[in-house]
Amino acid sequence: MRIGVVSLPVSGHLNPMSTLARKLQSRGHDIVFLSIPDTEPFVLAAGLKFVPVGEDAFPTGTLMEVERLFSIQEGSGGLEFTFNLMAQITGALLRPLTAIVGREKIDALVFDTYQPYLELAALHLKIPYIHVSNAVHFDTSGATPLCFFDWPNEDTSEARARNLEGVARFRKLLEPSVAAAKAYAAEVDLTVDWNDPATTISKLAWLTQTPKEFDFSSSQRPAQFRHTGPFHDGLGRPEIPFPWERLIEAPLVYASMGTLQNGLERVFQVMIDAARTRQDLQFVIVVGNKLDPAQFMNVPENVILVTYAPQLELLKRAALCVTHAGLNTVVEALAQGVPLVAIPITNDQPGVAARIADKQVGEFVPFDQLTWNRLAALIDTVYGDPSYRENARRIQRAIVKTDGLTLAAELIEKALGSRKSQGSDKSMGCRAD
Q: Is residue 338 part of a domain?
A: yes
Task: Calculate mean pLDDT across residues 417-424.
Answer: 50
* CATH code where residue 83 lies: 3.40.50.2000
Considering the domain architecture, whether residues 386 and 248 belong to the same structural domain is answered as yes
Q: Is residue 342 part of a domain?
A: yes
Q: Is residue 433 part of a domain?
A: no
- The dihedrals phi and psi of 52, each to the nearest 5 degrees, come to -70, 150
d(CA 254, CA 338): 10
CA 141, distance to chain mean position in Å, is: 21
Considering the domain architecture, whether residues 229 and 285 belong to the same structural domain is answered as no
Task: Please name the residues in contact with 274: beta carbons below 8 A apart, sequence gap of 6 or more.
Answer: 372, 373, 375, 376, 379
Q: Is residue 432 over pLDDT 70?
A: no
Considering the domain architecture, whether residues 382 and 307 belong to the same structural domain is answered as yes
229-256 tens-digit pLDDT: 999 887 766 789 999 999 999 999 999 9
Considering the domain architecture, whether residues 43 and 157 belong to the same structural domain is answered as yes
Q: Is residue 424 part of a domain?
A: no
Considering the domain architecture, whether residues 229 and 248 belong to the same structural domain is answered as no
Lowest-confidence range among 64-78, 137-151, 264-278, 301-315? 64-78
The number of folded domains in the chain is: 2
Considering the domain architecture, whether residues 221 and 288 belong to the same structural domain is answered as no
Confidence of residue 319 (pLDDT cuts 50, 70, 90): very high
d(CA 154, CA 151): 9
Considering the domain architecture, whether residues 207 and 262 belong to the same structural domain is answered as no
Considering the domain architecture, whether residues 37 and 127 belong to the same structural domain is answered as yes
Task: Calculate mean pLDDT across residues 13-40.
Answer: 94
Q: Which residue has the higher pLDDT, 124 or 74?
A: 124
Q: Is residue 140 part of a domain?
A: yes
Considering the domain architecture, whether residues 311 and 295 belong to the same structural domain is answered as yes
d(CA 180, CA 201): 17
**Tell me, what's the pLDDT at 233?**
81
**Tell me, what's the pLDDT at 61?**
84
Considering the domain architecture, whether residues 130 and 260 belong to the same structural domain is answered as no
| AA letter at 129 | Y
Q: Is residue 431 over pLDDT 70?
A: no
- The dihedrals phi and psi of 232, each to the nearest 5 degrees, come to -125, 140
Q: Is residue 343 part of a domain?
A: yes
Q: The domain containing residue 74 runs over which residues?
A: 2-234+402-416
165-223 tens-digit pLDDT: 999 999 999 999 999 999 999 999 999 999 998 999 999 999 999 999 999 999 889 99
Q: Is residue 336 part of a domain?
A: yes
Considering the domain architecture, whether residues 193 and 71 belong to the same structural domain is answered as yes
Percent of the chain residues topping a pLDDT of 90:
79
Q: Is residue 425 over pLDDT 90?
A: no
Task: Please name the residues in contact with 304: beta carbons below 8 A apart, sequence gap of 6 or more.
Answer: 243, 246, 247, 282, 283, 284, 285
Confidence of residue 423 (pLDDT cuts 50, 70, 90): very low
Q: Is residue 41 part of a domain?
A: yes
328-343 tens-digit pLDDT: 999 999 999 999 999 9
- Grouping H, G, I as helix, E, B as strand and the rest as coil, residue 426 is coil
Q: Print burial letters for 275-296: b (CB count within 10 Å at least 16), e (below 16).
A: bbbbeebbbbbbbbebbebeeb
Q: Is residue 378 over pLDDT 70?
A: yes
**Tell me, what's the pLDDT at 290?**
83
**Tell me, what's the pLDDT at 68?**
72
Considering the domain architecture, whether residues 103 and 180 belong to the same structural domain is answered as yes
